Structure formats: structure tokens, C-alpha cells
Chain A
Amino acid sequence: MIAQGTAPALKYTAQNDAAEAIHVENLHKRFGELHVLKGVSLSARDGEVIAIIGGSGSGKSTLLRCINCLENPTSGIVRVNGEEIRMKADSHGHTVPADRKQIERIRSKLGMVFQNFNLWSHMTLIENVIEVPVHVLGVKRDVAIAEAEKLLERVGLAEKRDVYPAYLSGGQQQRAAIARALAINPRVMLFDEPTSALDPELIGEVLKVIGDLAREGRTMVLVTHEMKFAREVASHVVYLHNGLVEEEGPPEQIFGAPKSERLKQFIRNIG
């Protein structure tokens, strides 16, 4: 389902005909002189778990952040839920979203989990989790609180509901951030290296939560360095190198029988 912009045909087709939740086509991103994404395509159907792997500077986080326009793609197509994000050029020639309301609507369907958690520090965990449902989606406060309590329970933080993020470990903060993402009942979960900022002994608890979500059929796009985890939970793996898709396929193929030399070396190095 993912191909380089110039490739004539998609290398991988979904086995099912589930609706396409995310569609990225021939995406380019430049930061000034730096050409970070050089024509990447990607798609995630409902229920799929797409793992994006690659070395530092390969553009994998940028690709993820272009999906919800935290970075504005320089060119290319991004469709979420079948709806194409409309872009326009601003007075400096930068590409920016043409319609702020559209971007806000699309973003509120994508549950993003960040490397550095990014919980709001002036709110307790329960306040963090209900913030978007109440203030963006217009859910009634008591309904949101009941739902948030269930979600915190689910990530094992029920008794921390009234604690501020700064008083929690990284693993706890990240699990709370996952609860915050789940609270919007997202169409797709976006994970941007969710375990990269964690101490080794805290990684397991976060991976367990993400793994459970994958097994229950959540649609996810996951940028990760955890190869073993990617192999376990992903339905499709994309290896990015220098802003291009170098190789992609089912995890058994990518990790078991990689074709490209670079990917072989990458897998050997990262173990």
C-alpha cells in the first residue's frame, strides 16, 4: 500500500476491502533547503497497524506529523477518512491549510501520542483526558468524566486521576497520554516514537497498552524504534530511508527476508 512517488504500482495491496482511513500520496516536505520527504505514499485501512521504521533523519516523524498538518506538507495529497486536506500557498509561498476549520475537524479524529507525552502540566490526569472531549467535541462534562475514568482504569492509572503529570513517571505519563488520545474515540491513532523518551524499564508497560489496542483492531500509524514490537503488532511495515520508502511489506517479510541492502544493515544494527 505504500510506494515511492515515482513507482508505477503499489507494492502492497490490502487483503481486505476495509475503508481507507489514511491515504498519503507523493508527499514532499522541504524545510528550506532540506528536502526531508521526497515523494512518499502510504495508506492505512481500518483495522490496520502501520509501523514506520527508519534511521534518524529518515523523515519518519515528519511523515507522521504531515498527516495531521503539525507540519505542512510542501506538496502531495493527504486524505483522512476519505476527505482530502485542502492546502493553499500563503504570501511567503509556504503551503498552509486552506481551511482552518477543516484541519481542526480532521485533527479531532486523530489521536496523537508524542515522544515527550506533552500532557498539559496545569491539569490533572482526568482533566487532561476530558479536555478535548469537553472543549473541542462538546461532550457533556459528566459523560466525559465517566468515560475518562474508564480509560484511566484501562491504562492502569485509575488511582492517579487527580495527580498532575509532573508527579508521575514517564511511563505513567505516556499511558495517560494514550488515554487522552483514546478519549476522542479517534478514527486513527498516531504514535510518534512513543517509547523513545522512556527509561528501559518503563518501555514495557507502554508497549503493552499499545499492543492491546492493536489486538482489538484499532487503526494505528506507529513510528517506532522497537523492532521486536513492530514485528509483533504491525500488519504492514514501511522502511524509510532519506525521505523515500526503501522497502515495505508485511512484518515477516521486512524482518525475516529483507531485500534491500540498507534495510538488512539497518535491522542488523538496531538488533
Chain B
Amino acid sequence: MARIIELLSPTPPGWGGTLLVGLLHSVEIAAGAFGLGLVIGICGAYGKLYGGPVVRDLLAVYTTIVRAVPELVLILLLYYAGTDLINQLLTAMGYQRIDISGLVAGIAVLGFVQGAYSTEVIRGAILAIPQGQIEAARAYGMSPGLLLRRITLPAMLPFAIPGLANLWLIATKDTALLAVVGFFELTLATRQAAGVTKAYLTFFLAAGVIYLLLTLVSNLIIGRIELRARRGMPSLKEAR
């Protein structure tokens, strides 16, 4: 027991600090990817619902392919091929090759994947808004941008939150996939700590607990947001 505490202590020779740095990187990537996914999702949903035929077809290709290919494959593909492509473009245009930071690449890759799922979640949520509310906003002269900001987004939120909450939790765990491209997040940190100390059980259990805590804290926050988003809706308990 004393050995376990010593191993997990946040200061060296304990590896707790390493795990926490890994967790921090995981959360950074997850938050960035989820945010990027949201932006892509809002644009994607709008494009799918209101866009012209070309936009709709392109978005259909995007969401279908991204959701069809295993995420690990996409990550490897986008990470290596993506950075290579950017560097080839840069050299072709006469610039220096650049070192793309793992954080930025990770956010971009996972965000691209999240965006495909977000598109569908948000599209469904927008369809669930009583159309009369959108029509009323148009009838009072709201511009499309104002309508999106003031009516569509807040009105679709209660319908989108369950799906978006799933996506956030998936994002926190998908960060582990970035370990395969050598990004130092919680899973890679755990593997390092376990490999050096040979205390595999201890460290992987500890990582599991950290992921669980992350989910529990997320649930608390999501619950708050959902309560706020559903403020205009009577509780379903009374309608049972």
C-alpha cells in the first residue's frame, strides 16, 4: 500500500504528476476538438438543412466517410498524411517546412471527426424546434445571423444536449487514440509510468479512475447546462 501511494505521489519519484500532466493534455485536446466539432457541426447542420445541392452533397460525403471509417484509421491518416500534405504545400510554395504541434494536430484531427457527428446531432435538434418559432423570427425581420444566434441555437440546445454530451464524453476518451501518434496524453503517460515502474495494474487502474472522475465532473456540468437550456420547458415528470 505504501508503495502504491509512493508510486502515485504527484512529486518525483512518484508518477502522479506525470499522469496529471497527461490528463491536462487530454482535457485540452478534448475541449478543443469538441469546440471545433461544434463549430463544424453548426455550419454542417445549416448547410445540410438550408444549403444548395452541391453543399448538401459535399456534407453528405463528409459525414458518411468520417462516420464509416474507424477513428483510429482516420487519426493515423489525417495526422501523418495531413501534416505531410501541409508541409508539401508549404515547400511547393517556397516556404520552410514547419513542425506542427501535437496539440494543434490532435485538436484538428479529433475536431474533424467530432464535426461529422455534431452535424447530425445539431441537424436533428434544429428539426425538433417548433418551426413556428423560426417563422415568427423571420416575420419580425430578423436577419439570418441574428435568427441563428437569438432563436435557432438557444431553441435547439435542449434537443441537442443529450447527443452533444455523448460526443463530449467520447471526445475525452478518443484523446487516448492520440497515444498511437505519440502525443503525450493521459494514456501515454500511464504507459510510460507503468513501463518504467512495472506497476501496470496500479497505473492503469489509476488512469481508469481519472477517466471516471472526468466523466463524473462532466456529468455535473452537463446537468447544469441542460437545466438552463430547458428553462422554458415544463418538467416531464408532471406529464407522466
Name A's B-contacting residues (CB within 8 A).
68, 70, 100, 103-108, 110, 112, 114, 116-124, 131-132, 135-136, 164-167, 184
| A108 contacts B136, C-beta separation under 8 Å | no
Known: A108-B141, A114-B139, A166-B233. 11 other contacts (CB 8 A): A105-B141, A107-B139, A108-B140, A110-B139, A112-B140, A118-B136, A120-B151, A122-B155, A124-B232, A131-B140, A135-B150
CA distance A118 to B139 in the complex (A): 11
**Within the complex, what minimum Cβ distance (angstroms) separates B138 from chain A?**
7
Instruction: Please give me the residue from chain B that is nearest to A108 by CB atom.
Output: B141
Chain B residues near A132: list those with CB within 8 A.
140-142
Within B139-161, the residues touching A (CB, 8 Å) are: 139-143, 146, 150-151, 154-155, 157
Contact B232 A165 (CB under 8 A): yes
Closest chain-B Cβ to A66's Cβ sits at a distance in Å of 12
A117 to B133, CA, bound (A): 9
Question: Does B139 contact A121, Cβ atoms closer than 8 Å?
Answer: no
Q: Which residue of B lies closest to A177 (CB)?
A: B136
C-alpha spacing A107/B142, complex, angstroms: 9
CB of B103 closer than 8 Å to a CB of A: no
Contact of B143 among A100, A110, A117, A123 (CB under 8 A): A100
Contacting pair B140 A164 (CB below 8 A): no
Q: Which residues does B use to contact A, with CB under 8 Å?
A: 130, 132-133, 135-143, 146, 150-151, 154-155, 157, 229, 231-234
Provide 14 A-B residue pairs closer than 8 Å at the C-beta atoms, listed in order of the A residue.
A104-B143, A107-B138, A110-B139, A114-B135, A116-B130, A121-B232, A123-B232, A124-B232, A132-B141, A135-B146, A136-B142, A164-B232, A166-B233, A184-B140
- Least CB distance from A252 to B in Å reads 32
In contact, A70 and B138 (Cβ under 8 angstroms): yes
A166 touching B150, Cβ below 8 Å: no
The answer to whether A112 touches B155, judged by C-beta atoms less than 8 angstroms apart, is no
Q: Point out the residues of chain A lying under 8 angstroms from B142, CB to CB.
A: 104, 132, 135-136
Question: What is the distance, in angstroms, from A212's C-beta to the closest C-beta of chain B?
Answer: 22
